[in-house]
Amino acid sequence: MEVAKAAKESGGFEELNQELQRLSARNEEQRRLQLRSLEIIGEISETRLLIMEHVGQSSFPMPLLVLLVCWFTIIFLSFGLLSSPNTTVFVVLFICALSAASALLLLLELDQPFGGLIRISSAPLKDALAHLGQQI
């Protein structure tokens, strides 16, 4: 009960960690559960720190994206220069360039799941957090 009360009031992992360490285990099963709880709290804290470190950062560095765009530009320009100028070649080159640009857009969209054109709903996550808050 004390642990749940501390987690509800503070909302912080540090207080919860301290309360878990203060608990006195009466048997082996309680000691095992206490150690596992401390491990889980530690893992969650590490994950939170990693997420907070990477907020606003992209998984794809800008020089890599610039390099890819330049590489695609050179490839499609060389194909256009070396092929005979007819409608079929232009249509095929346009479709290929469009597919390459779509692939780059998809990579950039996957980097930010809760924003951009393709979004993942945050409703299930909020619902799970609400249920967790009720159980504590």
pLDDT single digits (tens) 95-126? 999 999 999 998 888 887 777 787 778 888 78
Q: 6 with 16: CB under 8 angstroms?
A: yes
Gap between the Cα atoms of 46 and 66, Å rounded:
32
pLDDT single digits (tens) 8-51? 444 567 787 788 888 888 899 988 988 888 888 888 888 877 77
pLDDT single digits (tens) 60-77? 788 888 999 999 999 999
| In the chain, where the domains are located | 2-56, 61-136
Kindly report the pTM of this predicted structure: 0.50
